[in-house]
Structure 1
Amino acid sequence: MDYQTASLRRNWLGIVVSATMLGLPLVALADVTFEYSAPAIEPEQASGYTEKPGWATERFAVAAANPLATDAGYQVLRAGGSAVDAAIAVQMVLTLVEPQSSGIGGGAFLMHYDGSDVTAFDGRETAPRAASESLFLNGDGEPLEFMDAAASGLSVGVPGTVRMLELAHDEHGKLPWAELFAPAITLAEEGFAVSHRLHTSLAGEERLRDDARGGAFYYTEDGEPLAEGHKLKNPALAAILREIAEHGSKAMHTGSIAEDLVHRVQGHPDRPGAISLEDMATYVALQRDPLCTDWKAYRVCGFPPPSSGHLTIMQILGTMEHLPELEAPVEEGQPSVEWWHRFLEASRLAFADRGKYIADPDFVDPPGGSWSTMLEPDYLALRAESIEEQSMGPDGARPGRPGKLETSWAVQPNQPEYGTSHISIIDEEGNGLAMTTTIEAAFGSRMLADGGTGLPGGYLLNNELTDFSFRPLDADGTPIANRVEAGKRPRSSMSPTLVFDRESDELIASLGSPGGAAIIHYTAKALVAMLDWGLNAQEALELPHAITLGGPAFFEEGRFDASVLEALNERGHEASERELTSGLQAIMKTEEGFFGGADPRREGVVMGD
């Protein structure tokens, strides 16, 4: 079925959009399978912390970061669509309503279970062919300031989300590709209410105002961010999505849309990038073997490198397993001081390994010839011996020696990581997915592309290349594994996760989160809370956060008693408070069906029947 037929099925508050309104010829509707109806949803407040009830469903469930996006996936599932079908509809709506976090201008990792096999679909962005390891160095050979690099053409990687979703749909889609774009196109044409979170994100953003197109679209003539509740239409994005709906990913990677992207990247007024039409046309989405690790009574499956998510999560949890059992890991409904101490110390050790070894596997060999060496019980038991009553302190952790090392890499210095959105779905046939999707920092490279349409709006380009190490070498001249190289995929923290019962092989959970490098901590703690402490998905997502990337420990502002911070500081953690805005989504299997949770720190919801 072609896109024109699918377009006629779109429905706004129960009124069928006519062919005349769309400027399309009338075609038969005998094979209608999916009719989208735009819901009367006003996204809830996303700043601060809003309690949520959790959602019980019987047949299927979808969890996403915005109610309009969740509803699009829900309607697809109700129409008989697969989990992959629903994810496509959700992603296209997120491109419109949550442009600061993800979209067709970025990349994604998708974990999929089809009832028998788990597959990892890799839509990570790639560095252009003309990129070199000195990409983010200034004339003196020193790294650029992070935001100077991010808000520029230098930071834009070749996007992969659309091509990856097309690959997954070819294998696991049930509804026609074109139909899945109807929700986003309808909302883009008819308008949606700017949410509180989008408004506050715009209010706190400075660099997007510097982009002529982005500044004019998302701000008033006086430079004020669009007001909460403002009805925003995006005709450029609607036109772009029509092309992709009709012609597939080819429309994104060749022709006018690709030409416009290349023009904007190469034409950046301060720091132009090097993406070419050849880079766009030859981008390849990949299928990878997932990493599945036994933990307690479960088999946890996550994404392999270039993601560091699964390896680092399971290093944290595996290291903690080799410590003496705690009598009370949870006290008065919160993780205990001793549990936090162990979690933070294990995180320091895991992040030290992450910074040295993990990068794109097409460019970097794993230690000992296999990534599994980093999760060997004997190795993690040895790492656990470093955890004592006192913290090893900021920068006290050193990389270990997993396996027989054949290649030596330098440790990458810490640098900022941002962004992303997460989607979890389980369909009526029991197929499940976890998909984490990103343009990296809020509003990506701060460049809005209109696909050559000349219409207002469009989609934001990623700044994903800033996930590479800005420094290619350490002070001794030793290469850093995650340095910039042509065609390489930058290391990621995205951690889409599927969990199975080891005895029955039954899929029992799908989860993940945005949050830059802190994605790893958020997801790891949610796994422990749901699977070890017996909390339901919503209760697990409501627990407070604490993280460390190897330096000081940061605790979620306003969520901890002073006594907890004092106790951990006495152990040497240098703990302080800051905002830790996760965006966890989780769905758990129950005896009655499913129970889903959405992070109270953002505006997401769960829907299902």
Structure 2
Amino acid sequence: MKPTFSCRVHRLGLIAAVVSSFFYQSYVIADTPREVREPEAATGVSQKQMVTSEQYMVVAANPYASRAGQWVLSQGGSAVDAAIATQLVLTLVEPQSSGIGGGSFMLYYDKQKQQMLTLDGRETAPAEADETLFLNTHGKPVKWIDAVVGGRSVGVPGVLRAFADAHSKFGKLPWAELFKPAIHLAEDGFVVSPRLNALLEMRFNPGALQLEPAKSYFYPNGQAIAAGTLKKNPELAALYKKIAEQGADAFYLGENAKQLANAVQNSAIAPGKLSEADLAQYQPKWREPICVEYHQYNVCSMAPPSSGGIAVLQILKLLESKNLAQYPANSLQALHYFTQASRLAFADRDFYIADPDFVTVPTSALLAPDYLAERAKLITEQDSKNVPVGKPLDNLERAQNDAFELPSTTHVSIVDKYGNAVSMTSSIEMAFGSAVMVNGYLLNNQLTDFALSPEKDGKPVANRVEGNKRPRSSMSPVMVFNKDGSLKLIVGSPGGSRIINYVAQTLVAVLDWQLDPQQAINLPRVTNRNMYTTIEAGSALVALQPELEKRGHEVKVADLNSGLHAIAIHNGQLQGGADPRREGVALGEKSF
């Protein structure tokens, strides 16, 4: 019997969306308004209402995906099971942001053991890749658009190997069961959302208009697939059936691996180096989480090659002595301090963070209380402009990174009925990735997360390209624990390098300003990456621009395309929040 999935979605914005539903027999198709904000969108952020639940919850970037995770949880599945089913559906319905052709970082909380683990499913560079990968014949970095499109930018996908490892340890339902929702949708069709249509209409990724089969899939008859279209993907359904039956080997070995490598090596644009051997040898890595105490909480995230974890934790610790709880939410003083702490964190991030299996990353030194206390002294009442990199260790000579990090990513937050939890961020990098498509899924362009220049001023760039190396990432999945060790909050976001700001600001909103997760996510966003200060267009923060400029800020007003998804645990109740800037929803057992 095929599973069917039902989902009621409320009015979120100006654009109508259509979302199909499934539980056990039939589809119900309902008109649903949606708002599109990635990479550009209409200004103004509508509000969403917090969702509550007693047993379990999933928050994901598309109603189909949330519903798949909800169904798995309703069948007694674990948080890991639900994460797998959710991502498999996201590959189909949100192909611009993530998928099995990309990578992921997963935080997993084991309630019974009171233990948090982190799983690195980040892509790796092909073994034959080296620091000249993105240099032209004159030894200079190529233009960014020439770097991102085509086979050269494709890293070895890590999602499915990571999922297989996580499922072997923490899964409860059979592996094949987790593929049913995605297979069903791929075979019978899903309704194209206005957000997917809008991104295609923007033609943000020229490769999707140039490379087959992506061009025919996304632009049939030369036109972007329209919102409301019932779209099928039989090639992906067929591959999912093989992986469901044979395990992840059906992706990394055999026919799919051969076709994947061939598509990369023979891409009509910028052929790449990824081989069948690279796929066969890929392994995910369980890494130690990084954590800091922030007031009475313990905040944990992903270690390198994530730069997001260190940067988010640095921002919190740099702000701790400022006691942001004394200021109103998003007040001028609080946001000024926030941007200054962010400058300092980004300065360190750009120099020191890379794959720790290849270079020395001073993780402990960057989070050392004495070091951060000294750095915090640089936070003044005036904007500091481009702050200098810190010196956590005296013997490290590094150069600044020049990688491109684009915002097409997704985040999933899940709590199962056993109290276990997942905070997972995954990505294919640019919208529609490299535009190289195989068997119904897009391949990433994550190798452009490496520095395009291997050295600057005679100093090596830590995040330069090397064979089998993992590129630096800004993905910042987070879990927060109370003083007694109980889980308090799960949060993460897409958004390129601005992920760091989005997540840190939301943590401040929940932990300092005591907002519920939806209120925190609804807040207007502000970012500073050690450049200028950006405030969210169409929001109340625009009124602060003159005062920020008086404090020396260079201010830009722009759409900030966060996609924050959070679950808080409050008095035994699950509280879910989904970003109104995208089309995600939070679902629990009350949402059937």
Structure 2 match to 1:401: 391
- Separation in structure 2 between the aligned mates of residue 94 and residue 362 of structure 1, nearest angstrom: 30
How far apart are residue 44 of structure 1 and its match? Answer: 4.2
- Separation in structure 2 between the aligned mates of residue 326 and residue 604 of structure 1, nearest angstrom: 29
| Matched AA of 2:518 | Q
Q: Which range moved further: 590-599 or 431-440?
A: 590-599
- Separation in structure 2 between the aligned mates of residue 250 and residue 505 of structure 1, nearest angstrom: 38
Structure 2 match to 1:137: 135
How far apart are residue 548 of structure 1 and its match? Answer: 1.6
How far apart are residue 488 of structure 1 and its match? Answer: 0.3
Which digits, 9 at most, give the CA deviation of each residue in 1:76-127, with x for residues without a partner?
Answer: 1010000000011000000000000000000000000111211101100000
Alignment match of 2:555 (pick from 544, 555, 575): 575
Alignment match of 1:410 (pick from 378, 399, 408): 399
Asked if 1:421 is matched to 2:410, the reply is yes
CA contact (8 A) 2:103 2:426 kept: yes
How far apart are residue 558 of structure 1 and its match? Answer: 1.1
| Matched AA of 1:256 | E
How far apart are residue 363 of structure 1 and its match? Answer: 0.6
CA contact (8 A) 1:126 1:159 kept: yes
Q: 1:162 to 1:327 in 2, by over 3 A?
A: closer
Asked if 1:377 is matched to 2:343, the reply is no
Task: Show the 5 A alignment for 1:328-347.
Answer: 328-330=326-328, 334-347=329-342
Structure 2 match to 1:459: 441
Asked if 1:510 is matched to 2:500, the reply is no
Alignment match of 1:495 (pick from 469, 473, 476): 476
Q: How many residues align?
A: 562
| Matched AA of 2:412 | I
Which digits, 9 at most, give the CA deviation of each residue in 1:114-171, with x for residues without a partner?
Answer: 1121110110000000101011111111111111110111100000000001100000
Helix, strand or coil for the counterpart of 1:251? helix
- Separation in structure 2 between the aligned mates of residue 239 and residue 41 of structure 1, nearest angstrom: 27
| Matched AA of 1:439 | I
CA contact (8 A) 2:491 2:567 kept: yes
- Separation in structure 2 between the aligned mates of residue 150 and residue 250 of structure 1, nearest angstrom: 28
Asked if 1:302 is matched to 2:269, the reply is no
Helix, strand or coil for the counterpart of 2:59? strand
Which digits, 9 at most, give the CA deviation of each residue in 1:181-220, with x for residues without a partner?
Answer: 0000000000011001111111112331111211111113
Q: 1:91 to 1:43 in 2, by over 3 A?
A: farther
Task: Show the 5 A alignment for 1:235-314.
Answer: 235-314=234-313
CA contact (8 A) 1:36 1:75 kept: no
- Separation in structure 1 between the aligned mates of residue 78 and residue 541 of structure 2, nearest angstrom: 45
Structure 2 match to 1:196: 194
Which digits, 9 at most, give the CA deviation of each residue in 1:294-335, with x for residues without a partner?
Answer: 111111111000001111011111111234x458521xxx41
Helix, strand or coil for the counterpart of 1:131? coil
Normalized per residue, the structure richer in strand is 2
| Matched AA of 2:427 | T
Alignment match of 1:88 (pick from 84, 88, 91): 84
Task: Show the 5 A alignment for 1:89-104.
Answer: 89-104=85-100
CA contact (8 A) 2:325 2:513 kept: no
CA contact (8 A) 1:322 1:380 kept: no
Asked if 1:212 is matched to 2:212, the reply is yes
- Separation in structure 2 between the aligned mates of residue 103 and residue 36 of structure 1, nearest angstrom: 27
TM-score by length of 1: 0.90
CA contact (8 A) 1:131 1:484 kept: yes
Q: 1:43 to 1:489 in 2, by over 3 A?
A: farther
- Separation in structure 1 between the aligned mates of residue 198 and residue 208 of structure 2, nearest angstrom: 13
Q: 1:38 to 1:498 in 2, by over 3 A?
A: farther
CA contact (8 A) 1:77 1:86 kept: yes
Q: Which range moved further: 417-426 or 39-48?
A: 39-48
- Separation in structure 1 between the aligned mates of residue 117 and residue 522 of structure 2, nearest angstrom: 29
Structure 1 match to 2:12: none
Asked if 1:478 is matched to 2:459, the reply is yes
Note the residue ranges of structure 2 that are not aligned, 5 or more in a row: 7-22, 37-41
Q: 1:189 to 1:171 in 2, by over 3 A?
A: same
Helix, strand or coil for the counterpart of 1:594? strand
Helix, strand or coil for the counterpart of 1:486? coil
How far apart are residue 376 of structure 1 and its match? Answer: 1.5
| Matched AA of 1:386 | L
How far apart are residue 249 of structure 1 and its match? Answer: 0.9
Note the residue ranges of structure 1 that are not aligned, 5 or more in a row: 1-8, 15-33, 451-457
How far apart are residue 416 of structure 1 and its match? Answer: 3.9
Asked if 1:66 is matched to 2:62, the reply is yes
Task: Show the 5 A alignment for 1:556-575.
Answer: 556-575=536-555
Q: 1:36 to 1:354 in 2, by over 3 A?
A: farther
- Separation in structure 1 between the aligned mates of residue 515 and residue 76 of structure 2, nearest angstrom: 31
Helix, strand or coil for the counterpart of 2:454? coil
Structure 1 match to 2:534: 554
| Matched AA of 1:465 | L
Helix, strand or coil for the counterpart of 2:55? coil
- Separation in structure 2 between the aligned mates of residue 95 and residue 245 of structure 1, nearest angstrom: 15
Which digits, 9 at most, give the CA deviation of each residue in 1:238-281, with x for residues without a partner?
Answer: 01111111111101101111111111100012311000110010
Helix, strand or coil for the counterpart of 1:554? strand
How far apart are residue 561 of structure 1 and its match? Answer: 4.8
Which digits, 9 at most, give the CA deviation of each residue in 1:331-372, with x for residues without a partner?
Answer: xxx4111111111111111101001111100011123xxx12
CA contact (8 A) 2:324 2:512 kept: no
How far apart are residue 534 of structure 1 and its match? Answer: 0.8
Taking only aligned residues, the RMSD between alpha carbons, in angstroms, comes to 1.6
Structure 1 match to 2:358: 363
CA contact (8 A) 1:556 1:580 kept: yes
Q: Which range moved further: 589-598 or 557-566?
A: 557-566
Structure 2 match to 1:26: none
Helix, strand or coil for the counterpart of 1:11? coil
Q: 1:561 to 1:62 in 2, by over 3 A?
A: closer
Percent identity of paired positions between Structure 1 and Structure 2: 46
| Matched AA of 1:187 | L
| Matched AA of 1:11 | P
TM-score by length of 2: 0.92
Structure 1 match to 2:10: none
How far apart are residue 41 of structure 1 and its match? Answer: 5.7
Which digits, 9 at most, give the CA deviation of each residue in 1:567-608, with x for residues without a partner?
Answer: 111222210111111100000002151110000000000111
| Matched AA of 2:433 | G
| Matched AA of 1:306 | P
Helix, strand or coil for the counterpart of 2:458? coil
Q: 1:265 to 1:443 in 2, by over 3 A?
A: same
- Separation in structure 2 between the aligned mates of residue 301 and residue 563 of structure 1, nearest angstrom: 34
CA contact (8 A) 1:106 1:439 kept: yes
Alignment match of 1:183 (pick from 181, 184, 196): 181
How far apart are residue 388 of structure 1 and its match? Answer: 1.4
| Matched AA of 2:389 | P
Helix, strand or coil for the counterpart of 1:56? strand
Structure 1 match to 2:16: none
- Separation in structure 2 between the aligned mates of residue 177 and residue 207 of structure 1, nearest angstrom: 34
| Matched AA of 2:374 | L
Q: 1:473 to 1:12 in 2, by over 3 A?
A: same
CA contact (8 A) 1:328 1:336 kept: no
Q: 1:212 to 1:355 in 2, by over 3 A?
A: same
CA contact (8 A) 1:133 1:484 kept: yes
Alignment match of 1:523 (pick from 494, 503, 513): 503
Helix, strand or coil for the counterpart of 2:460? coil
Helix, strand or coil for the counterpart of 2:466? coil
- Separation in structure 1 between the aligned mates of residue 141 and residue 584 of structure 2, nearest angstrom: 37
Structure 1 match to 2:102: 106
